[in-house]
Each structure stands twice: as C-alpha cells, then as structure tokens.
A and B are shown apart, each in its own frame.
Chain A
Amino acid sequence: MAHRIEVALKESVRDARGERIKREIEHFLHLAVDEVRTIDVYTVDAALTPEELQQAAAGPFSDPVIQEWSIERPLAAGFDFAVEVGFRPGVTDNVGRTAREAVEYLTGRPFVSGEGVYYSVQYLLKGAFEVADVEQIATGLLCNTLIQRYSVLSAADFMAKRGFAPTVPKVLAEAKAEVREIDLNVSDGELLRISKEGVLALTLEEMRIIQAHYRDTQVVAERATVGLGANPTDVELECLAQTWSEHCKHKIFSGTVQYEDEEGNKQEIKSLFKSFIQRTTRDVRAKLGDKDFCLSVFKDNAGVIKFNDQQSLVFKVETHNSPSALDPYGGALTGIVGVNRDPFGTGQGAKLIFNTDVFCFADPFYEKALPARLLHPRRIYEGVVEGVEHGGNKSGIPTVNGSLVFDERFAGKPLVFCGTAGIMPSEINGQPSHEKSIKPGDLIVMTGGRIGKDGIHGATFSSEELNENSPVTAVQIGDPITQKRMFDFLIRARDKALYRFITDNGAGGLSSSVGEMAGECGGCRMDLAKAPLKYPGLNPWEIIISEAQERMSLAVPPERIDEFLTMAKRFGVEATVLGEFTDNGVFHILYDDRTVAWLPMAFMHEGLPPLQLPAKWEPPRHAEPAVEVKGDYSGDLAALLGALNICSKESVVRRYDHEVQGGSVVKPFSGVANDGPSDAAVVRPILESFEGVVTAHGICPRYSDIDTYHMTANAIDEALRNYVAVGGSLDLVAGLDNFCWCDPVLSEKTPDGPYKMAQLVRSNQALYDICMAYNLPLISGKDSMKNDFYDGSTKISIPPTLLFSVIGKIEDARKAVTMDVKRPGDIVYLLGKTGDELGGSEYFALKGAIGNKVPLVDTGRAYRRYQAYHQAVTQRLVASCHDLSDGGLAVAAAESAFAGGYGMSMELSRVLWKGDMAGKSDATLLFSESASRHLVTVHPEQREEFENIMSGNCFAAIGVVTPEPVLAIVGLNGAAVVRAGLAELKEAWQKTLREL
C-alpha cells in the first residue's frame, strides 16, 4: 500500500518557495494573497516497515534543523485552500527517483518491480479566494496540466477528508507487445488519414512512395523469408516517419527550389544545404589551404575543429522550440541536456566545457488576448529560463554566453536555442578522436535512462505547426543527474577504448540513432524486447521511436563487452546489449526473436525524392518614417536602454552558473560594479594553459521584415564583431548556423510559401557571401522549419531568424579586452563608418516603424579593420572595446561608460559617415545600426601606436573618457544632443527586467 510522508518547514522558517509563488500570483494573476506555504509530499508505494518509513522521513527526506515530518497525517494548518500538484503517470519524476534510491541505501534492499516513490508539492494558500481563483492559480501557475495533475481542497473539505488521499501515478498498462500491420492498398484520402491520425507527418507523396515499396514483388518475396507479410508493420511505418521527418531529414534544406528574384531571373537550386552551407565550408577550407583547421564537419553530431596540436574543440547549437511551447520548463530542460549529448557523442566523445543559450520570446508583459493552447509569454519566459538553469547548472557546465530576443510573433512559438562546446584530446588511444567506425559484429549497446512513452512522436510533431491537438506524449523532462552519471562513466570508458562508436539518442530515439549507426556498416539486427523499460506495456513501435532522455547508443566490440558492462554497473549506469551491427544492407528489428521490421537501408535513407519548392522574392516596401529632429535625444536614449531587446538581462544571467570548471576569463558581466554587458565570452578549458576559447553570437530577426539577406549578413557580422571585440583571433574561428523559420512550403494554410521560401534562399545566399569574405567555415548547425501556430483561424508565424554562433581562439587569454571604459583621459575611437541605416532598428521600433534602409555589411573593409584591431589587442593597446548593435552608437557609449563608472564626452561631427549626406543627422549618427563598428578606448600614451596599426582603415577619435559620471554628446551643430547622468542611464537599462 502507498504511504504519504509529508515534510514541512518549521513555522519559524521562511518559505522562500512559497514567497516566490505569492509574488507570482500577485504580479501575474493580479490576485491578492496573504501567504503561501509549501509542503513536500513523498508517496511511498513500497513494502516498508513502519520503522523504515520513519527512518526515511527523519533521514534523507527531511532536514531536522528546519523541517518537520509526518507519516499518514497531514501537516497543513492555517490556510484557506490547499492545492496539491504531482506528475501524471509516466512523466519523469527526478525527486521521486532520488527518494527511491535513498530508501534503497537506507534499507539495503532494492525496490521490486512496481514499487516506487512519487513526489508532489502541496501549496497552502491564505487569502480571500473564490474557488475559481484557486483553479486559476492551479492551472495558470502551479501546474502544467499536460504533465502534471492537481487537486484542490478548501480548508473545510481538507478537515472533513483529513487531507489529500495518497495518489500513486503509476503507469497501469498490460504487458502487451502488439504489432499491427497497416494495409496501404487504400485510397489517397485513406493514406492521408493514416498519416495524420498516426502523427506520422508524412505527405501524400511520401505515403505513395511507401505504398509502392510494399507493392514491389521482390520486396514482398524477401519479406516472406523473414516471416513478414506484404503490408508494413507499425514499427516499419513509424521508423520511416521518423527517418523521413523534416526534423531528421531536413527535407526543405535538401529540396529542389525554383527561385525567382525581383527582376524575374529564375534559378533552380538543388538542395540549399549542399549549394550554400556545405559549399561555404568547402570553399572556405580551400581558401584557407594549409591553414585549414576543420577536422570533422556536418557528418557527426557536432562540428570539430583544431584548438591546438593536442586538443580539438567540438561545438553544436540546437533548438527545442515546440516542446518548450507546450511545457516550457521540461521542454527547455530537455533542450539543454539534449544538446549536451551532441558534443559528448561526437567523435569518440568530448568533455563538455560550456553552454550558450539564446531565447526568443514575446513580451513578458503582453496584455492582449492569446489563442487557446498558447501559454502566456511570461509563463514561457519563466519556465524556459528555469528549465535551462536547472539543466545547465546541475550538469556542471558553465553558461557563458547568450541573449534574450523579443518580438510579439514569438508568442506563436518561442525559440529556445541551446549550444554546448566540448574539448577532446586530438588523439585517443592512438586514433584521431574525431573519427569513429563500426565493424559488422559489433554489439548495439544502449546506456543511460530507460525507455518510456515520453517523447513519442517528438520528431514528427516538431515537423508540424503547433495546434490544439498537439500530442501530450511529445513532451519529455530531462534528468541531468542520470545523464551526468552516464557521462562520468562513458568518458572513462572512452579512455579505456571500451567502445568503437558513440552517438546520442535524440529525436526519433533508437530508430534514428541505431538507424544512422547501421548506415556506417550497412545494417543491424536489434531485438526490442531486450530494451529496458520504465514500465511495462510499451508496444515495439513505441520502444523504437521513444525519445525518453539521457540515453546514448554505442557500438561495442564483442571482446570489450564484459569490461564495458562491469564498469557501467560499478558506476551505477544501466547498459544493455540490444543486438549487433551487420553488413547485410537491412535495418532488421525483432521483438523476442520475431521480426517486426525489415527495412532495406537504401530505401530508408535514400528512398525519398526531393521536395519541389517554389520561391519568389518580392522586396517588401514599408513606410519610410521621417527621422525626428530635436535638440535633445537623452529621453530617446533612456527609452532605448529600457527596451526589451537592449535592457540588462542580469536577473536571468545571474541564475546561470557561468564560472564552474574555473576557466572563465571574460564573464557575461564586466566593469566596476560587475554589471556591464560583455560582448563575448572567453574561457580557458585547460587550467594549466592560457590559450582561450572565445564564443559569441549574432541574431537580428527584426531585419527580416526588410530583407533576410541583410538579416543574415548582419547576424554573421554581429557574431564576428563580438568575437573580435574581446580579442578572438581571425586565424581560427568557425561558424554555426541555426535557422528557425516559419513554414515556407506552399500549401493551403501557407499561401505565402513562395515568399517565405525566397526569404530562406536569400538568407542562404548571404550565408555563403559573408562567410566566404570572413573566412568562416560552417562546422555544424540545425534548422527548425515549422515555427508557426495555427488553430484554423489564427496563424502566428515567427519572423525568419538565423542564430549565428562562432567559436574560436585567443592565443593568450591574458590579453582579452572587456567593454567597460577604464580610466578618465582615455581616447574614444569609433571604428567603422556610420550611415543612414535606421531600417529595422530598435530606434524605429521605439517609434512603431520599420523603415527600409537596413544596414549593409561591407565585408572587405570590415575584415581588414578586424585584423588590424586584433593586432592592436595582441600588442595590448586597447583599454576597452564594445560592439555597436541594437540602439547604435548612443547605446554602446552609454553601456561602456556606466559599466566603467566614468563619463564620456564625444562629438558627432567627428564620426565618419558613409553614403548620402542627406541622411546625415544627429538621430542617425546616434541610433543607426550600421554594421561592423566598434567603440574603443585607448590610453593617451598608446595613441600613436594604436593609430599606426589602424592606419588605412576607417576609424576616428570622437571623444574622451571623463571623470564626471555623465554621457555628453555634442550634435552636428555644436550643441549638446545628449546629456545624461550615468546613474540615470544605468537605472533605465536595469529596471525593465529586474524583477523577473
């Protein structure tokens, strides 16, 4: 029977969790609350003696200094309503799992099958609430009904019922292992129904290809030899749907595009991926010649470059948008621990050295109505921030760089980019670490977590727009500790050469990981009945596509398997042999020796013809706003500093451990009060050395409203200029592209597909052009192509967004430069020219306009200037450097000044101008977002040396750092156009998100 153990804080102890809930109810639901207190509830469904229950309650479950406990007796008192929230059956319950292990240590007796501990939280609310208010608090704040259940009791009912009854959210399912056959000899309408109702996300054409395959007489004959009929099994159909999903197959990036530009020129592009992304890398590498530093690109879970002769760097950035829209906490947590597995599963396996996060949300203060099923942006913000916080911090990986980007359209789907870098010795056991192979006869081994129904159809689901019927099972919750244990074991197994190949289990589960591995050697034979399950009752098709987290798949040579399994056991990691790799050309799946799937590898991986995608570019025209001429722009500057895209994100960033592992050199914050916004991160992954890794990123979706070509060009330039600002070397720097697009495929629900597709083409064109000019090979990336919400009436499509991340090197981290001004008297330089380029700027956004004059990147000049600047950094001639981006010169100057604690005075007449003089005005000089510019300060005694190195480039001394804490900018006519105290500017910058 199930026992309830309750643990409450003693009355004298402050309940920080309850206080936070109280604040959120007040801020978010606008309800008055007197008090919120919380109680932890452990439902122990196991055969324990009364003494053992007491030992558990008094021992691991409670803290005698601050808590009290009870068994089978409620502790709650002095409340008006009680709400208890626990997980639904089958949802990952990390606290429950740890509690169970603690009881096992205590009793020295493992739980038997079916026994478990389940965790829930009781919230005790005090205040004048109606029942409806409490329901709103429960569903609006305390509980995500997709994954959690809740019950509410008023104080009177609580007394009458003596509290909540124990609830055991055990998955109750019969042990069955059904395999269905699906008759595909049906009409087109029926084919589509099969796809839709099965969440297969296969198009009619794809269903017809499958139909044709099963009609092939040779296929039928071969199937008969393994005891299969002419119809596909559900296992086969599900495997094909995973393998062919947009998420896994990138059908849009590999499709054939018919592109027509604004002048009617037509062009056929066979695969954007090959034509632009792969070609970029190939051409840049050719250009670099013997200075090429790429080791493994596009073919593994993450890209690999050289760091030095002994070490290689690994980097990958992923998105986890759709799950984060449904369950922000679980979705985002899974996003970060999921991307951790990419570098870990690259080559022979890498040690993880840092994370990066970029989130795109709608305004957290959004006040308009939202379509059903969409969570409020504030809840998404809170959940995502917390999910990534827990995933990153608990994994012991510093989060060193990131952004928050806001646009109303991200209400349709938030974007959650998570990146992870790793480092590995360039050779492991005498082999290049970035290479790996599989030999026929190697064993298929799965390690880590068990398989459940969590994350079924994740890959196919994220290949569709979000709608009211999006499946609950698509959501997973990560478990960083199980994963950390697995990594601790696997990195040691790596060094003992106990496996030959490693990859992660992500989207598509085993069907995808083992499917891809089988491609290495030409086949596999795997028995799903051997897979460890969280609970009985999973059908074979569910086992093979489940995206249950914290799993890696490996190829282990038979002669190493005993040592591998023994070591796994010692480290408390589950490892299971599921079958073996073969070279017979077949993806052969069994369940208890019975064949349940028999798929020729060639059909699985190459059976799909390319999509045909129309694309037509018609440049949009927006109203061109008149730039306001006024005598004082101090107010505009303060408003810009407080804008969501510019303001301080410190309340979020401080929640992320950015210093664990001890290598941080340039932290997210710089300056006299540790609160200025750094441009990029520098870390030392090897503590005995001063070689640093530099990472930065660029993202500017607002420019997509004008032209995605320039959006992309600016994003790449922003990433590189951030990287350059802190001292990153141009000789060793690589890029990663993450495309997040709205559905660009022409269909009934996407009549503007050709325009969106053209936006994608133009973005790719810029990717090639800019990366070629900047010698930036692309080493990895990802695309997420269906970021829309559609409920039949309302459609919200995100603005096309490219996140461009860079990773590279600084030879000596002790020469890194931060963005805070250092001392009065230093000369202020602006590197680069400014133009009439307010289109898509934050300044226009403040005025409610978009405009048309998007910043244009002049790569030739910029690259030469970046090189010269880097030389100045190497010679220690730069006191501070800050990149100019959102909000332009005025914002950058304000940030550098208040971060350093000294004022700045400058004259706009000294700023170098490019283009038409008609557009030159104080406002454009202050707020234009012209690309490739840096604001630099230099000690006067180094002036000559600095100017010598920079000579031949566009740069100008425009002012000086001053002792008085004031930003003073003189306009073109000689009068002050900005004069503001640093304290007041900093306050404007800090206050917007301070309380979130």
Chain B
Amino acid sequence: MKKIRAIVITGNGTNCETEAAHACRLGGFDEAVIAHIAEILSGEVRLDDFHFLNLTGGFLDGDDLGSAKAQANRLKHAGVAGTGEKLVEQFTRFIGAGKLILGVCNGFQLMVKMGMLPGFDGDFLTQRTTLTFNDCGRFQDRWVYLKTDAASPSVFTTGIEQGIYLPMRHGEGKFLCDSPATLERIEREHLAVLKYSGPDYEAATMEFPLNPNGAQNAIAGLCDPTGRLMGLMPHPEAFVHYTQHPRWTREELPEEGDGLKLYRNAAEYVRKNLV
C-alpha cells in the first residue's frame, strides 16, 4: 500500500512541531516529517511530496507585527531556491491537488492572514477574517469545550457528535470578520466548525472563561467550503492521550484524547481519496 505522508513546518518561532508530528503518527500517517522552513525555501523538502500539511502553534517571528503577519508576508514573497517559483505557488498547488491543511493556533492565524481561510470561491489568498487580541488582554492557557457543527463540510471533524475538550494557549485568538456578509456566509455554509461552549456542548457562549477571547459568534475553528482546509485556535495535538487531560486523575477517561480524532480523520481521508 502506498504511504501516506504528513509534513509539519517549523522554524522562525514555531513551537508545537514535535507533538503535532506525534499526533499525525498516532492518527495513522505512515510518516510525519518535521521540516524547517529553511529546508523548504532551499528546495530540499517539497510540499508536493506530502498529503497533509500541518501549520502548527508557536510565535512566528515573535508575533511582532501581529500574530503570524510576518510569516504570511514571507510565504507570499519568498522564493524557493533553484526553482524560480515562489513558495506560495507550492501552497496553491497543494490545495489544488485536493490535499489537506490543518492550522492550529499560530498556524490558524497564519492561514487566516494569508487568506487560505475561509477560502470562498476557491480564493485562498484574500484575507477576510482575522484573529486578534483576546478581550481579556492577556495570554491564556486553559481548557475549553468546543461544540462541533455536525453539518460542517470539515473532513477533520467527521463523526464527532457533540463536541471536544481541548486546551487553548494564546493571546490573539479573538475571531473577527471583515463584514457581516462574511460572517453570515460562514454561518450559512457551516464553515464555523467549532464554537466555544459549556461542558454540555449545547450552546455557543460568549461568557469568559468558557469563551476565552471574545471571538465573534464564539468561533474557535473554521474550515473552507471543501472541508479540506481547517484552522482552530485550541490545540488538538495536545490532547491525544488521557494523561494530558487536566482531570485525568479523577475522571474515567478513554485511552485516546479528543484531539486525536482530527488526525485519524485526516489519515482516513488521505487513504481513501489521495493514494
């Protein structure tokens, strides 16, 4: 059987590459390669050789110009050595080939600021939404309940009935749209895959700390209309085993954490559709 391959991009302040690669392997990928951006820009590693791209958490360029802004600029303008092509062309080719991208936290910020999400009408390079400073004005590390939209096209959340419980760790996670029309279309097309909610996963909430950042419509995760591109502020790679749960010493929990489902779904999709 052909191998299914995941890539995790690191460098310039990305921090979660090890656990993201671990989650990909646990989820069923035969290979999960951690590639430094320098290795991609030098042409040593090509996105074309992979099926699933992970843009994961961290502080790209220190979030100095606003989270992920400098990396979005770099990806759009930097060229790949020896190829004459810009890196952004590898990205659009990857998307065009029907492959999967998951952006987590800083990776979600990057996708949004590059314009990969919400990706209306096949346009992956126009920014329509943003993620900005939490209403509380502070970085927060806490666990959140995320209600899933069962009608969402996201391939990552297939089979998750009510919701998932994950840690969030960010200072800039407040989701905002450029216009009411964008927000309305996101909701209409069920692109807001995950929303902050109470422990019963019943209703979305704006209440702190359940909604830790004041995101519009409590949106924590977003996908494109194909469902193959998704970003979320909380960290699914940080809950793949029960010992990562904050209350594992007092609750009966299954071996696998809630976040692993996203990687299992990704692997399954790739196996079915891309190899």
Contacts and interface: CB of A to CB of B under 8 A. Distances in A.
Interface string B111-127: 00100000000000001
Interface string B132-144: 1111111111110
A63 B69 contact: yes
Contacts, number: 182
A interface bracket (residues with beta carbon within 8 Å of B): 35 or more
Given A481-B13, A572-B38, A656 B137 contact: no
Interface in A1-52: 13-14, 16-17, 19-20
B78 interface: yes
Quick one: which of B11, B13, B250 has the most chain A CB within 10 A? Answer: B250
B231 to A, nearest CB: 15
B16 A396 contact: yes
Contacts of A817: 249
A484 interface: yes
A391 to B, nearest CB: 11
A822 B248 CA distance: 11
A349 interface: no
Nearest to B11: A488
A102 B70 contact: yes
Contact of A659 (B12, B138, B178, B235): B235
A820 interface: yes
Contact of B250 (A20, A658, A820): A820
A224 interface: no
B62 interface: yes
A659 B141 contact: yes
B42 A662 contact: no
A672 B15 contact: no
Nearest to B22: A687
B57 interface: yes
B216 to A, nearest CB: 11
A844 interface: no
Contacts of A59: 73
Given A63-B113, A63-B130, A101 B61 contact: yes
B19 A66 contact: no
A660 B59 CA distance: 12
B198 interface: no
A559 interface: no
Contacts of A492: 36
B162 interface: no
Contacts of B258: none
B261 interface: no
Interface in A89-135: 94-95, 97-99, 101-102, 105-106, 108
Interface string A338-357: 00000000000000000000
A492 B137 CA distance: 37
B70 A101 contact: yes
A360 B55 CA distance: 38
A147 B231 CA distance: 39
A16 B250 contact: no
B238 interface: yes
A98 B247 contact: no
Contacts of A663: 19
Given A65-B176, A389-B139, A393-B139, A667 B246 contact: yes
A65 B12 CA distance: 25
A816 interface: yes
A658 B128 contact: no
Given A66-B176, A671-B247, A674-B246, A660 B139 contact: no
Interface string A637-662: 00000000000000000111111111
A958 to B, nearest CB: 22
Contact of A658 (B15, B133, B141, B214): B141
A345 B132 CA distance: 36
A417 interface: no
Interface string B227-268: 000000001011010011011011000000000000000000
Nearest to B62: A481
Contact of A65 (B140, B142, B177, B214): B177
Contact of A570 (B38, B63, B167): B38
A99 B65 contact: yes
B243 A102 contact: no
B61 A481 contact: yes
A687 B243 CA distance: 11
A832 B227 CA distance: 59
Residue among A94, A481, A659, A816 with most chain B CB within 10 A: A659
B169 A65 contact: no
A64 interface: yes
B78 A105 contact: yes
A699 B73 CA distance: 47
Interface in A483-538: 484-485, 488, 492
Nearest to A20: B137
A66 B130 contact: yes
Given A99-B65, A105-B78, A662-B237, A481 B140 contact: no
Given A63-B113, A670-B249, A814-B243, A393 B137 contact: no
B92 to A, nearest CB: 18
A66 to B, nearest CB: 6
Contacts of A889: none
A671 B169 CA distance: 19
A13 B177 CA distance: 11
B256 to A, nearest CB: 14
Given A396-B16, A488-B11, A662-B237, A98 B64 contact: yes
Interface string A365-385: 000000000000000000000
A480 interface: yes
A657 B141 contact: yes
A530 B143 CA distance: 50
Nearest to B241: A687
Contacts of B169: 393, 657, 659-660
B39 to A, nearest CB: 8
Contacts of A20: 137
Contacts of A822: 249-250
B218 to A, nearest CB: 16
A665 interface: yes
Interface string B7-24: 000111111101100110
Contacts of A64: 127, 178
A94 B58 CA distance: 16
B73 A102 contact: yes
B127 A65 contact: yes
Given A481-B59, A814-B243, A900-B250, A488 B10 contact: yes
Given A60-B70, A659-B235, A396 B250 contact: no
Interface string A662-685: 111111011110100000000010
Nearest to B182: A65
B154 interface: no
B77 interface: yes
B16 A661 contact: yes
A95 B11 contact: no
A94 B74 contact: no
A672 B10 CA distance: 36
B198 to A, nearest CB: 13
A497 B32 CA distance: 24
Contact of B246 (A108, A488, A670): A670
15 contacts: A17-B137, A66-B130, A66-B132, A66-B176, A95-B65, A101-B70, A481-B59, A484-B13, A488-B36, A654-B141, A660-B15, A662-B23, A671-B250, A687-B19, A816-B249
Given A108-B77, A396-B14, A666-B249, 19 more contacts: A16-B136, A19-B137, A60-B65, A97-B64, A98-B64, A99-B65, A102-B73, A105-B77, A393-B59, A393-B169, A394-B62, A655-B139, A659-B167, A660-B238, A661-B18, A665-B243, A665-B244, A674-B142, A818-B250
A-B CB proximity, top 5 nearest? A396-B15, A662-B19, A98-B64, A65-B130, A60-B73
Interface of B: 10-16, 18-19, 22-23, 36, 38, 42, 57-59, 61-66, 69-70, 72-74, 77-78, 113, 127-130, 132-143, 167, 169, 176-178, 214, 235, 237-238, 240, 243-244, 246-247, 249-250
